Structures are given as structure tokens and as C-alpha cells.
Amino acid sequence: MERKYNAIPDFVIELLATKAGGLLSKVQEDRLSQWLSANPEHLQAAMELLNLFQKQHYVNLQKKVDKKQGWNTIQQKIHAKSSLRLYLLKYSKIAALILVLIGFVWYLKFYILEPAKNEVVAESVNPETNNNKVVLILSDGNMFTLDNPGDTLLNESNGVNIRNKPGQMLSYDQQQESSDEKNFNKLLVPAGTRYQLQLSDGTKVWLNALSSLEFPVVFSKSERKVTLTGEAFFEVEKDAERPFIVVANGNEIKVLGTSFNVSAYESDQRIETTLVEGSVEVNCPGKESIRLLPSQLLRINTLTNSNEIETVNTRFYTSWKDEILYFDNLSLKELAIRLERWYDVEIVFKNENTQRKHFSGAMENSRDIEFILNLISQTTYIKFEINGKKIFVE
């Protein structure tokens, strides 16, 4: 073990190893949290050590899987929480898989630690040779990758400063009043990645995998309009005089200040707008506008232009921005589509009947895709064969 881990007491090392395996008790959790909170310098070393333990834990899982013991462990975790026990009961008549999240509440705190400030100039990229990188296209057509180590500082028109903290946020700092000059930037997020953006008005946007957002460097004096392809979650800064408009596949979602999710992947042949709080107005071509209430989802079929509204648990549609994938009574076919975007893989079904099995559960983005595939295999007769970025389902 490296020198930097020498300062970690043996009991903490044991707790971290237990944590990586998802077996930490409440008493142990409290003891670990107490040690971590005693000194901020404890956090980084503990995070690195936990990552090592987690990786080794995943390797062990992939080498040998005890199906009976694995399912028993899942059941024990389910019965430990009454809410999940009811959840399992509700879907006992379908082929359901309950994936239990290992609690890493304290671990998430590591992400608020700012990395050492090391401002560098971003390197220009060629879209033909750029391989699965987050890309920002400036108004002059120059393209830059955003996931290189260290902070990036760029200058745009209208005196706007653009700062990028890899893995955290791309933010626009507006230095002057709004103008009607039409200069746009475009953010491209590939498969297997998510990215956060703060626009010049303070609005925050989380872009999901295989998504892009085109937006003005500085919003006009009359409105704030952006164009979305794919999926994004918006926390709109309130401005009573300038509505915020999201254009997705020809539809316009109009708000003043609210939180909502829009999924508009062309391959899905539908647009879903899920309102978390506030109010939104959706304008569909050739139809009257539709106003949503919190916890409502509007689904528009892009082939038939028909629509429906339903009340939903919004976390199933927004948790991706927190690096968690929730799914509720989802067919394996639909789950496969999400996993393809989530992990940048291609999933091929050899048996159509397998696509119709339904699953419910949740998982963290930190989990390897092999982890969820192993759990599915443990609870069903479904088998997976991994060949590079291709996954075959039998």
C-alpha cells in the first residue's frame, strides 16, 4: 500500500473494504463518517483507497458468481427496507429484477472538492478524429474537447468568459447586458457521458448521453431560446420578462423559471417532458398549447403527433443527472436502449421473447455494465456474451 495510505488507521481501511462490498452496518457507517468529518484531508486518500477496493470487488464478482448466494444477498437487502419490500410485492407477477443501491452518501461528498486550479488553453479538435469526447463548438466554428485534465478558460464574443471544470461544469460568465447579436455555441455529449452546463443567464442544464444543445452566447433582450437533441434536465433561472424556450423536434417548451426534463431522442420516436416543479407550456405544431403541473409527464408521439399526460414519479425520469439510473417495470428492450447510451455499447438480442421481460430497480453510474448483467443473469435464465463493445443477449 502506498505511503499516502499510511495515515489511514487500520480500522478505517477495514471499514472502506467492507463499504466497497456493500456490507457496512449502520454502526460502522456512523464510525466511518465520524472519522471522515474530523479532518477534510482524510477525504481524498479515503476516496482513492475506496476506488481501489471497489475495482477489486468488481473483478472478483466477474471471476466467480455464486447465483444462489447472490440472489440471497439481494433479497436480504430488499427485506431490510420496508419500502422496497412493498415495491417487490407490487411487481411479483412479472419477471422483475430489483437492483439495490449500495449507499455511498458520504462518498458523493468527494465530488464537491475542487481540483487544483491549473488553467490551460483548450486544444482544437478535428470532429473526424475526435473519439467519444465532449466537444464545444464556438461561434467562429472552432471546436474544443472539454474532458482534458485541468481547468479550461476560453473567450467568446460579447465579452463572455467560458470556464470549464472537467467532470463538473461548463459555465458562461456574461460581462455585459443582453444583446440581439446572434452568436451561438453548441455542446456535443457522446454516448457513455453526461455533462453539466451553466448558461449566461444562470440557467443550469444537465445533458445526457448522445445529446446536444445549441444556445446563444448571450441571450436576447426578449427571450431565451435553446435547441435540444437527445435528453436534458433544466433548472431555469427566473426572468419574468424573458421566457425560456426549449426547441425539441419542432416542439417548443416554454417556461419562466422551473425544473423539468426533456427527452427527445429521434430514435425513440417520442418526446417526453417531465415537470418537477413550477409550470411549463408545451406548444405542439398544429395544436393548442398544453400546460403541465408538477409531477406530470407529457408524451408526444412524433410519428402520429398524438399525445398523452400522466402523473409519474419524477425520479424515474430525472435521476440520470445524479449518475443514477432508475427503471420501473421497464422491458429489457427499453432498458437495453438506456444501457447502450449509458455505457456506449451495442446490445443485440438473439431471442425476441427476451426483450419482453420486465425489470425494476436502480444502479449507480460507477457500476460497470458487467455488474448489472451479472445480476440479471442471477435472477433469470438470460445469458449475456460480451465481445468488445457488443453485447449479445440469449
Q: Looking at the predicted structure, is the pLDDT value of residue 292 above 70?
A: yes
pLDDT of 130 reads: 46
Q: Is 240 exposed, middle or buried (0-12, 13-18, 19+ CB in 10 A)?
A: exposed
Q: Which of 65-74, 352-361, 385-394 has the lowest mean pLDDT?
A: 65-74
> 6 with 54, same domain?
yes
Q: Which of 45-49, 98-102, 120-124 has the lowest mean pLDDT?
A: 98-102
pLDDT tens for 84-103 read 333 333 333 333 333 322 23
- DSSP class of residue 143 equals E
Residue 352: in which H helix or E strand, if any? helix 352-355
Report the chain's terminal Cα–Cα distance, integer Å. 42
> 294 with 369, same domain?
no
Residue 331 · residue 347 · CB < 8 Å: no
271 within a domain of the structure (yes/no): yes
Q: Looking at the predicted structure, is the pLDDT value of residue 75 above 80?
A: no
pLDDT of 39 reads: 66
> 336 with 308, same domain?
no
pLDDT band at 128 (very low <50, low <70, confident <90, very high): very low
For residue 249, give the nearest of 235, 234, 262, 260 by alpha carbon: 262
Q: Number of helices (H) and strands (E), helices first, in the chain?
A: 10, 23
209 within a domain of the structure (yes/no): no
pLDDT band at 44 (very low <50, low <70, confident <90, very high): low
194 within a domain of the structure (yes/no): no
CATH number of residue 380's parent domain: 3.55.50.30
> Which residue range forms the structural domain that includes residue 382?
65-101+323-394
pLDDT of 56 reads: 52
> 238 with 280, same domain?
yes
268 within a domain of the structure (yes/no): yes
Cell representation of residue 175: 460581462
CATH number of residue 235's parent domain: 2.60.120.1440
Instruction: Report the mean per-residue pLDDT for the chain.
Output: 76
User: Cα 137 to chain center, whole Å?
Assistant: 22
291 within a domain of the structure (yes/no): yes
Residue 154 · residue 122 · CB < 8 Å: yes
> 235 with 312, same domain?
yes
> 228 with 318, same domain?
yes
pLDDT tens for 49-67 read 766 665 554 444 444 444 4
Residue of higher predicted confidence among 36 and 92 = 36
Q: Looking at the predicted structure, is the pLDDT value of residue 116 above 90?
A: no
User: Cα 268 to chain center, whole Å?
Assistant: 18
Question: What is the pLDDT averaged over residues 195-222?
Answer: 93
Work out how many domains the chain is built from and give that number.
Answer: 3
200 within a domain of the structure (yes/no): no
> 228 with 314, same domain?
yes
Question: What is the pLDDT averaged over residues 270-287?
Answer: 91
132 within a domain of the structure (yes/no): no
Q: Which of 9-18, 335-344, 373-382 has the lowest mean pLDDT?
A: 9-18
pLDDT of 281 reads: 94
Of 91-100, 154-163, 201-210, highest mean pLDDT: 201-210
Q: Looking at the predicted structure, is the pLDDT value of residue 339 above 60?
A: yes
Question: What is the pLDDT averaged over residues 10-35?
Answer: 75
118 within a domain of the structure (yes/no): no
pLDDT of 100 reads: 29
pLDDT band at 157 (very low <50, low <70, confident <90, very high): low
